[in-house]
Structure 1
Amino acid sequence: MYKVMIIDDEPIIVEGISKVVPWEKYGCTVVDTASDGNEGLEKIRVNKPDIIFSDIAMPGRDGLKMIAALKVEFPDMMICILTGYRDFDYAQTAIRLGVTRFLLKPSNMSEIEEAVETMVAKLKKQRGDAPEEEHEEEGKAGSFIVKNALQYMEENYKNKITLNDVAENTYVSQWHLSKLLNKHTGKSFSDLLNQIRISQAKLLLMDPSLRVSDVAEMVGFLDVAHFSRVFKKQAGMSANEFRNKQ
């Protein structure tokens, strides 16, 4: 039996899909439900369902980030989106990230059953092209996560941010994020963060009224000696030498 989970903040939809769809006909069983994205993600990691029906416009989670995280963590999982969010670009991105079906609310039962049938057929499909199709989907989802991680780092480099902060923002584990950053950029989290900070520091050093210690603090370094070491490693010269050359 294929395990199914339904995630929606509208109880009537959860109950409707759980009880009205003839799950046994498709060799499926509903193992759990959730009313929001946070609860849903926790339960998915516990139950490891084969199929998910989920709304993505729920409070507390960014739907596209959640899809990307799931496709990286569980590349075989089939995802059907149920949403009232009528945005073509959003739907296109969701499908590019590996969503099997994108259904607009209110969906009729024949649409839902067709989605179940399609997802079950995909799960049954013998491997062949399947791994290639999964690696490709996982690659797109991974690329999406890395893009969001770098954006978060660029917006928050002034603060004391950790790998865990960025992982939480992209809904993946620290291990998954570290692996993805390395795979897509060839660099570690700390190298990428230092790169962002030092490139900002170079711009600030153009201002002669700022001391090196001021610049260090402004780009998120608590210790000027640490800043000096990282700057020299990245720029090939000290911060003062860089400033004097400008």
Structure 2
Amino acid sequence: MYRILIADDEPMIRKGLQKLVEQSGLPIASIRTAENGMDALRRIREERPDFLFTDIRMPKLDGLELCRHVAEMDADIQIVVVSGYNDFEYAQKSVSYGVKEYLLKPVTIKGFQEVLEKLVRFSAKQRSETFVPVTRLEAWTAKLDEAVWLLQEQELRAVLMGMRSELDGFGLKPSRLCDVLDELNILLVNRINQRDVFTLRAGLELADVSEKEEAWRRFDDSVRSLCEELRHKRRGRRKDPVEEAKHYIEDHLAEEVSLEEVAEYIGLNASYFSQLFKQSTQETFVQYRTRRRMEKAKKLLQQPHYRITDISGEVGYADHPHFTKTFKKYAGCLPSEYRQKMGTE
């Protein structure tokens, strides 16, 4: 998807070029227009375009000065100068500012299409020359995901430092670095959201960034904001969610605690929590809770001053016959028989 900016002080020219872009079949993310050089510069700073079409003679800031400002940004913007025949020699001075193509007025459909195709080819070549393997993006995303999910601040710092060191080795221009960081951010958010826990927002805006340091600062801030959002949704808890669930179950064995209640307590979606708990413990929530209740019942049965009916209530069974039946299924004998075996009768 390409972002395009058209700068010309003549409304008819702007509309004509915009229409040619729209009819080109090019995948377009945005088409914006500017009526003078100052307006164009402001719009470039708001959102970096991939292609800039600019007139030479414009009020406030002419096309040549606009090209100079863009070159100083090192923003990797492909510039096409649109000029009249009498201005062509003047327009050629902009070659030192990285201008890729020229279009003579009046602009023809064929001439415009040829220039656009050249821009696309050059853009594809440029991106392939600064290609970051998908396997690296996926590996970084997996490491970020784990550190963010477990709220491991030291590990997160280490991953971010390692990523930066590797990406610096690719020699990316600021604009390409922004593309990579934006893609990483989207991959990370999608990966976390696929856990079916919360819906986190991507929250990274790099369209107006022209310096690497600022791009990294915003990316770091975005990743850390994901941690903060996750921490807030978990009510500030840093423990492993399954371990925290186990503690909660242990503290409430005498109560009829539901899976939904525990999931809400630790800040997880009930469906996801059920899957996560089974994967971690090899037991369902109910199986685990029942086993812990029966293990506690065994300990209490070894203490002769506890009546069996009292033990039933201590482990969450208001219905004593149900407790007896469950205990026999778990231990292979009745509670009274177990007590006899332990010599506590």
Q: TM-score with structure 1 length normalisation?
A: 0.48
Higher relative contact order (CA 8 A, sep 6+): 1
Rg comparison, structure with higher value: 2
Q: TM-score with structure 2 length normalisation?
A: 0.35
